[in-house]
Protein backbone atom coordinates (compact mmCIF):
# COMPACT_ATOMS: atom_id res chain seq x y z
CA UNK A 1 0.00 0.00 0.00
CA UNK A 2 1.26 3.46 -0.90
CA UNK A 3 0.69 6.40 1.44
CA UNK A 4 0.92 10.05 0.41
CA UNK A 5 1.73 13.02 2.65
CA UNK A 6 1.69 16.73 1.81
CA UNK A 7 3.47 19.42 3.84
CA UNK A 8 4.55 23.02 3.28
CA UNK A 9 8.19 23.39 2.20
CA UNK A 10 8.55 27.16 2.33
CA UNK A 11 7.46 30.29 0.48
CA UNK A 12 8.94 31.68 -2.73
CA UNK A 13 7.89 35.09 -4.03
CA UNK A 14 4.69 34.96 -2.02
CA UNK A 15 3.74 31.43 -3.14
CA UNK A 16 3.67 28.44 -0.81
CA UNK A 17 5.83 25.56 -1.98
CA UNK A 18 4.38 22.10 -1.35
CA UNK A 19 6.29 18.89 -0.65
CA UNK A 20 4.61 15.58 -1.45
CA UNK A 21 6.02 12.30 -0.13
CA UNK A 22 5.07 8.77 -1.11
CA UNK A 23 5.94 5.73 1.01
CA UNK A 24 5.68 2.18 -0.33
CA UNK A 25 5.18 -1.08 1.57
CA UNK A 26 8.78 -2.12 0.80
CA UNK A 27 10.14 0.97 2.55
CA UNK A 28 10.93 3.22 -0.42
CA UNK A 29 10.18 6.95 -0.12
CA UNK A 30 9.95 9.58 -2.86
CA UNK A 31 9.49 13.32 -2.31
CA UNK A 32 8.79 16.05 -4.88
CA UNK A 33 8.33 19.79 -4.41
CA UNK A 34 6.27 22.32 -6.35
CA UNK A 35 9.24 24.69 -6.77
CA UNK A 36 10.69 23.63 -10.11
CA UNK A 37 8.52 20.48 -10.04
CA UNK A 38 11.65 18.98 -8.49
CA UNK A 39 12.35 15.41 -7.36
CA UNK A 40 13.75 16.28 -3.93
CA UNK A 41 14.44 12.84 -2.47
CA UNK A 42 14.35 9.12 -3.34
CA UNK A 43 15.14 6.78 -0.47
CA UNK A 44 15.55 3.08 -1.28
CA UNK A 45 16.68 0.20 0.99
CA UNK A 46 19.72 -1.78 -0.14
CA UNK A 47 20.13 -5.57 0.03
CA UNK A 48 21.02 -5.26 3.71
CA UNK A 49 17.91 -3.20 4.45
CA UNK A 50 19.85 0.06 4.83
CA UNK A 51 17.86 2.98 3.43
CA UNK A 52 19.72 5.85 1.78
CA UNK A 53 18.85 8.78 -0.43
CA UNK A 54 19.99 8.00 -3.98
CA UNK A 55 19.42 11.43 -5.59
CA UNK A 56 21.34 14.62 -4.90
CA UNK A 57 19.32 17.41 -3.34
CA UNK A 58 18.90 19.97 -0.60
CA UNK A 59 17.19 19.90 2.79
CA UNK A 60 15.32 23.18 2.37
CA UNK A 61 13.86 25.55 -0.19
CA UNK A 62 16.73 28.01 0.22
CA UNK A 63 19.13 25.40 -1.15
CA UNK A 64 17.11 25.06 -4.33
CA UNK A 65 16.60 28.79 -4.78
CA UNK A 66 20.19 29.89 -4.07
CA UNK A 67 22.44 26.93 -4.91
CA UNK A 68 20.74 24.77 -7.51
CA UNK A 69 22.73 25.89 -10.55
CA UNK A 70 23.22 22.20 -11.56
CA UNK A 71 19.41 21.70 -11.78
CA UNK A 72 19.36 18.93 -9.14
CA UNK A 73 16.10 16.98 -9.58
CA UNK A 74 14.50 19.76 -11.62
CA UNK A 75 11.95 19.83 -14.39
CA UNK A 76 13.74 21.82 -17.09
CA UNK A 77 12.11 23.61 -20.01
CA UNK A 78 10.70 24.95 -22.21
CA UNK A 79 13.61 23.35 -23.98
CA UNK A 80 15.93 21.03 -22.10
CA UNK A 81 19.52 20.73 -23.21
CA UNK A 82 21.03 23.11 -25.78
CA UNK A 83 19.88 25.34 -28.62
CA UNK A 84 22.79 26.42 -30.79
CA UNK A 85 23.52 30.18 -31.03
CA UNK A 86 20.56 30.85 -28.70
CA UNK A 87 18.10 31.42 -31.53
CA UNK A 88 15.79 29.51 -33.85
CA UNK A 89 13.47 30.19 -36.73
CA UNK A 90 9.84 29.14 -37.05
CA UNK A 91 7.93 29.88 -40.26
CA UNK A 92 10.46 32.51 -41.26
CA UNK A 93 10.48 34.38 -37.95
CA UNK A 94 13.57 34.39 -35.75
CA UNK A 95 13.25 33.99 -31.99
CA UNK A 96 16.13 34.84 -29.68
CA UNK A 97 16.50 33.08 -26.35
CA UNK A 98 19.02 33.59 -23.57
CA UNK A 99 22.66 32.76 -24.31
CA UNK A 100 23.26 31.33 -20.83
CA UNK A 101 26.01 28.84 -21.70
CA UNK A 102 28.62 30.59 -23.83
CA UNK A 103 26.88 31.72 -27.02
CA UNK A 104 24.24 28.97 -26.72
CA UNK A 105 20.99 28.36 -24.83
CA UNK A 106 20.66 25.78 -22.05
CA UNK A 107 17.70 24.32 -20.15
CA UNK A 108 15.10 26.99 -20.82
CA UNK A 109 17.05 30.14 -20.06
CA UNK A 110 17.63 32.47 -17.14
CA UNK A 111 14.33 31.75 -15.37
CA UNK A 112 13.33 28.38 -16.73
CA UNK A 113 10.73 25.96 -15.46
CA UNK A 114 13.14 24.86 -12.71
CA UNK A 115 12.92 28.29 -11.00
CA UNK A 116 9.16 28.84 -10.72
CA UNK A 117 6.48 27.63 -8.32
CA UNK A 118 4.03 25.27 -10.04
CA UNK A 119 0.37 24.98 -9.08
CA UNK A 120 -0.31 21.77 -7.14
CA UNK A 121 -3.29 19.43 -7.53
CA UNK A 122 -3.61 16.13 -5.69
CA UNK A 123 -5.53 13.36 -7.47
CA UNK A 124 -5.53 10.33 -5.21
CA UNK A 125 -1.97 8.97 -5.23
CA UNK A 126 -0.96 11.33 -8.04
CA UNK A 127 0.21 14.92 -7.86
CA UNK A 128 -0.15 17.22 -10.87
CA UNK A 129 2.04 20.31 -11.10
CA UNK A 130 0.86 22.92 -13.61
CA UNK A 131 2.60 25.99 -14.99
CA UNK A 132 1.38 28.65 -17.41
CA UNK A 133 4.23 30.09 -19.48
CA UNK A 134 3.24 33.27 -21.28
CA UNK A 135 3.98 34.11 -24.91
CA UNK A 136 7.65 35.16 -25.31
CA UNK A 137 8.59 34.13 -21.78
CA UNK A 138 12.35 33.54 -22.04
CA UNK A 139 11.92 34.32 -25.74
CA UNK A 140 9.73 31.35 -26.68
CA UNK A 141 6.59 31.94 -28.76
CA UNK A 142 3.11 30.95 -27.64
CA UNK A 143 1.22 30.66 -24.38
CA UNK A 144 2.26 27.23 -23.10
CA UNK A 145 0.29 25.28 -20.49
CA UNK A 146 2.47 22.54 -19.03
CA UNK A 147 1.77 19.83 -16.49
CA UNK A 148 4.02 17.32 -14.76
CA UNK A 149 2.28 14.37 -13.12
CA UNK A 150 4.13 12.29 -10.54
CA UNK A 151 2.95 8.98 -9.11
CA UNK A 152 4.71 6.30 -7.07
CA UNK A 153 3.32 2.77 -7.17
CA UNK A 154 3.84 -0.09 -4.74
CA UNK A 155 6.18 -1.92 -7.15
CA UNK A 156 8.70 0.89 -6.53
CA UNK A 157 8.13 2.75 -9.78
CA UNK A 158 8.18 6.51 -10.09
CA UNK A 159 5.91 7.44 -13.00
CA UNK A 160 6.40 10.87 -14.57
CA UNK A 161 4.32 12.38 -17.38
CA UNK A 162 5.00 15.76 -18.99
CA UNK A 163 2.21 17.32 -21.06
CA UNK A 164 1.96 20.67 -22.83
CA UNK A 165 -0.26 22.60 -25.23
CA UNK A 166 0.48 25.88 -27.00
CA UNK A 167 -1.30 28.78 -28.71
CA UNK A 168 1.54 29.27 -31.25
CA UNK A 169 4.02 26.98 -32.94
CA UNK A 170 6.89 26.67 -30.45
CA UNK A 171 9.80 24.56 -29.21
CA UNK A 172 9.16 22.10 -26.38
CA UNK A 173 11.53 19.50 -24.95
CA UNK A 174 11.03 18.79 -21.24
CA UNK A 175 13.00 16.47 -18.99
CA UNK A 176 13.74 15.62 -15.38
CA UNK A 177 17.31 16.38 -14.29
CA UNK A 178 17.75 14.07 -11.28
CA UNK A 179 21.31 13.17 -10.27
CA UNK A 180 21.57 9.54 -9.12
CA UNK A 181 24.14 7.68 -7.06
CA UNK A 182 22.80 4.27 -6.08
CA UNK A 183 25.37 4.03 -3.28
CA UNK A 184 23.87 7.13 -1.69
CA UNK A 185 23.86 10.83 -2.48
CA UNK A 186 26.97 11.37 -0.32
CA UNK A 187 28.97 8.43 -1.73
CA UNK A 188 30.95 10.48 -4.23
CA UNK A 189 32.93 9.65 -7.33
CA UNK A 190 34.64 6.47 -6.13
CA UNK A 191 31.32 4.68 -5.73
CA UNK A 192 29.96 6.19 -8.94
CA UNK A 193 32.82 4.54 -10.82
CA UNK A 194 31.70 1.17 -9.39
CA UNK A 195 28.25 1.38 -10.98
CA UNK A 196 27.44 -0.97 -13.85
CA UNK A 197 25.61 0.70 -16.76
CA UNK A 198 23.79 -0.40 -19.90
CA UNK A 199 22.07 1.96 -22.34
CA UNK A 200 19.76 0.77 -25.10
CA UNK A 201 21.37 2.79 -27.90
CA UNK A 202 23.58 2.00 -30.89
CA UNK A 203 24.55 5.60 -31.66
CA UNK A 204 24.93 9.08 -30.20
CA UNK A 205 24.44 12.52 -31.70
CA UNK A 206 27.81 13.90 -32.76
CA UNK A 207 28.63 17.29 -31.20
CA UNK A 208 31.14 20.09 -31.57
CA UNK A 209 33.40 21.36 -28.78
CA UNK A 210 30.46 23.32 -27.29
CA UNK A 211 28.23 20.22 -27.11
CA UNK A 212 26.05 21.43 -29.99
CA UNK A 213 25.03 18.62 -32.39
CA UNK A 214 26.50 18.71 -35.88
CA UNK A 215 23.53 16.77 -37.30
CA UNK A 216 25.61 13.62 -37.76
CA UNK A 217 25.60 10.44 -35.67
CA UNK A 218 28.41 8.35 -34.22
CA UNK A 219 28.13 4.58 -33.87
CA UNK A 220 29.01 3.50 -30.33
CA UNK A 221 30.31 0.02 -31.15
CA UNK A 222 33.87 -0.52 -29.90
CA UNK A 223 34.06 2.98 -28.38
CA UNK A 224 33.85 4.21 -24.76
CA UNK A 225 30.22 5.11 -25.56
CA UNK A 226 29.24 1.48 -26.12
CA UNK A 227 26.90 0.55 -23.27
CA UNK A 228 24.90 -1.97 -25.32
CA UNK A 229 26.28 -4.55 -22.90
CA UNK A 230 26.56 -3.69 -19.21
CA UNK A 231 29.98 -2.34 -18.25
CA UNK A 232 31.67 -0.74 -15.27
CA UNK A 233 31.18 3.01 -15.45
CA UNK A 234 34.63 3.87 -14.12
CA UNK A 235 36.31 1.88 -16.87
CA UNK A 236 34.21 3.59 -19.55
CA UNK A 237 34.88 7.04 -18.10
CA UNK A 238 38.63 6.44 -18.00
CA UNK A 239 38.60 5.27 -21.63
CA UNK A 240 36.52 8.32 -22.59
CA UNK A 241 38.73 10.84 -20.78
CA UNK A 242 36.35 10.98 -17.81
CA UNK A 243 33.61 12.79 -19.70
CA UNK A 244 30.05 11.72 -20.47
CA UNK A 245 27.58 14.43 -21.43
CA UNK A 246 26.04 12.97 -24.55
CA UNK A 247 22.68 12.26 -26.16
CA UNK A 248 22.21 8.55 -26.79
CA UNK A 249 19.71 7.66 -29.52
CA UNK A 250 17.42 5.13 -27.89
CA UNK A 251 16.38 2.00 -29.77
CA UNK A 252 12.77 2.99 -29.29
CA UNK A 253 9.62 1.07 -30.09
CA UNK A 254 7.78 4.28 -30.96
CA UNK A 255 6.23 7.25 -29.12
CA UNK A 256 3.19 5.28 -27.94
CA UNK A 257 5.30 2.65 -26.13
CA UNK A 258 7.62 2.87 -23.17
CA UNK A 259 10.93 1.47 -24.39
CA UNK A 260 13.78 0.35 -22.18
CA UNK A 261 16.30 3.21 -21.99
CA UNK A 262 18.89 2.11 -19.44
CA UNK A 263 19.69 -0.21 -16.55
CA UNK A 264 22.14 0.76 -13.82
CA UNK A 265 23.24 -1.39 -10.88
CA UNK A 266 25.49 -0.89 -7.86
CA UNK A 267 26.92 -4.30 -6.90
CA UNK A 268 27.94 -3.41 -3.34
CA UNK A 269 24.47 -2.30 -2.22
CA UNK A 270 22.51 -4.40 -4.71
CA UNK A 271 20.40 -1.41 -5.73
CA UNK A 272 19.33 -1.06 -9.35
CA UNK A 273 17.58 1.54 -11.48
CA UNK A 274 15.71 0.92 -14.71
CA UNK A 275 14.52 3.75 -16.94
CA UNK A 276 11.74 3.32 -19.52
CA UNK A 277 10.45 6.16 -21.74
CA UNK A 278 8.64 7.03 -24.95
CA UNK A 279 11.32 9.58 -25.91
CA UNK A 280 13.86 9.07 -28.73
CA UNK A 281 16.91 10.18 -26.74
CA UNK A 282 18.53 10.22 -23.33
CA UNK A 283 21.29 12.53 -22.15
CA UNK A 284 23.78 10.49 -20.13
CA UNK A 285 25.69 12.91 -17.92
CA UNK A 286 28.26 12.14 -15.23
CA UNK A 287 28.09 15.49 -13.40
CA UNK A 288 31.27 16.82 -14.97
CA UNK A 289 30.41 20.41 -14.03
CA UNK A 290 29.97 19.88 -10.31
CA UNK A 291 32.91 21.33 -8.33
CA UNK A 292 36.32 19.72 -8.84
CA UNK A 293 38.32 18.36 -5.87
CA UNK A 294 40.26 21.65 -5.75
CA UNK A 295 37.09 23.73 -5.45
CA UNK A 296 34.64 24.16 -2.56
CA UNK A 297 32.00 21.44 -2.72
CA UNK A 298 28.34 22.12 -3.43
CA UNK A 299 26.79 21.57 0.00
CA UNK A 300 23.69 19.45 -0.28
CA UNK A 301 21.44 17.36 1.90
CA UNK A 302 22.63 16.76 5.48
CA UNK A 303 25.80 18.73 4.76
CA UNK A 304 27.03 16.33 2.07
CA UNK A 305 29.65 17.79 -0.26
CA UNK A 306 28.71 17.15 -3.88
CA UNK A 307 31.59 17.08 -6.38
CA UNK A 308 32.46 16.22 -9.96
CA UNK A 309 31.54 12.66 -10.98
CA UNK A 310 29.54 12.18 -7.80
CA UNK A 311 26.36 11.20 -9.67
CA UNK A 312 24.89 10.39 -13.06
CA UNK A 313 21.86 11.70 -14.94
CA UNK A 314 19.65 9.93 -17.47
CA UNK A 315 17.62 12.77 -18.99
CA UNK A 316 15.02 11.39 -21.41
CA UNK A 317 14.38 13.86 -24.21
CA UNK A 318 14.13 14.80 -27.85
CA UNK A 319 17.61 15.22 -29.35
CA UNK A 320 19.45 18.44 -28.37
CA UNK A 321 19.22 21.37 -30.79
CA UNK A 322 16.56 19.49 -32.74
CA UNK A 323 15.04 22.75 -33.96
CA UNK A 324 18.10 23.18 -36.23
CA UNK A 325 18.26 19.64 -37.63
CA UNK A 326 15.52 18.35 -39.91
CA UNK A 327 16.88 14.79 -39.63
CA UNK A 328 16.25 14.75 -35.86
CA UNK A 329 12.91 13.94 -34.20
CA UNK A 330 11.06 17.23 -34.06
CA UNK A 331 10.93 19.50 -31.01
CA UNK A 332 8.21 21.68 -32.57
CA UNK A 333 4.78 21.69 -30.93
CA UNK A 334 1.86 23.04 -32.97
CA UNK A 335 -1.41 24.51 -31.71
CA UNK A 336 -3.98 21.73 -31.40
CA UNK A 337 -1.31 19.13 -30.60
CA UNK A 338 -0.34 17.79 -27.18
CA UNK A 339 3.23 17.20 -26.07
CA UNK A 340 3.25 13.88 -24.18
CA UNK A 341 6.49 12.68 -22.60
CA UNK A 342 6.37 9.68 -20.29
CA UNK A 343 9.17 8.15 -18.23
CA UNK A 344 9.23 5.49 -15.53
CA UNK A 345 12.06 5.07 -13.03
CA UNK A 346 12.03 1.63 -11.45
CA UNK A 347 14.05 0.92 -8.32
CA UNK A 348 14.86 -2.34 -6.63
CA UNK A 349 17.52 -4.57 -5.13
CA UNK A 350 19.12 -7.84 -6.15
CA UNK A 351 21.31 -10.43 -4.41
CA UNK A 352 23.53 -13.06 -6.00
CA UNK A 353 22.68 -11.71 -9.45
CA UNK A 354 18.99 -12.32 -8.82
CA UNK A 355 16.49 -9.49 -8.57
CA UNK A 356 14.36 -9.94 -5.48
CA UNK A 357 12.22 -6.78 -5.23
CA UNK A 358 10.81 -5.81 -7.60
CA UNK A 359 11.32 -8.19 -10.51
CA UNK A 360 12.74 -6.87 -13.78
CA UNK A 361 9.83 -6.58 -16.17
CA UNK A 362 9.03 -4.25 -19.07
CA UNK A 363 7.36 -1.02 -18.00
- Give 192-203 as a DSSP string: HHT-EEEESEEE
The catalytic position among 137, 191, 274, 315 is: 315
- The verdict on whether 177 is a catalytic residue reads yes
Q: How far is CA 37 from CA 58, 261, 339, in A?
A: 14, 22, 17
Contacts of 74 (CB under 8 A, 6+ apart): 36, 37, 38, 68, 113, 114, 176, 177
The catalytic position among 12, 105, 107, 177 is: 177
Torsion, Cα of 321, 323, 324, 326 (10° steps): 120
Judged by DSSP in three states, 341 sits in: strand
- The verdict on whether 315 is a catalytic residue reads yes
Q: Do the annotations mark residue 178 as ligand-binding?
A: yes
In contact, 97 and 105? CB cutoff 8 Å: yes
Helix (H) or strand (E) holding 183: none
Alpha helices by DSSP H, listed for the chain, are 61-67, 188-193, 233-239
Residues of the binding site: 81-82, 177-179, 245
Catalytic sites, residue numbers: 177, 315
Residues of the binding site for beta-D-galactose: 81-82, 177-179, 245
Amino acid sequence: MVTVETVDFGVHKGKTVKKITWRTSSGAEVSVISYGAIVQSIKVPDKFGVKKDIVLGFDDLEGYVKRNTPYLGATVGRCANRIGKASFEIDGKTYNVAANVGKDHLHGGIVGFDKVVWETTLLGTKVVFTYYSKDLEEGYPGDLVTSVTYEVTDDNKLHVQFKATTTKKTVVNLTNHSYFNLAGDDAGAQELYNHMVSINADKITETNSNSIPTGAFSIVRNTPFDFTLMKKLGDAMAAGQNLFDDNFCVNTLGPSILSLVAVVTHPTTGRFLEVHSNQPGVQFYTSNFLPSPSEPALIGRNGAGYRRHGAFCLETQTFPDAVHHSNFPTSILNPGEEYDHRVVYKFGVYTNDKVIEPSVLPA
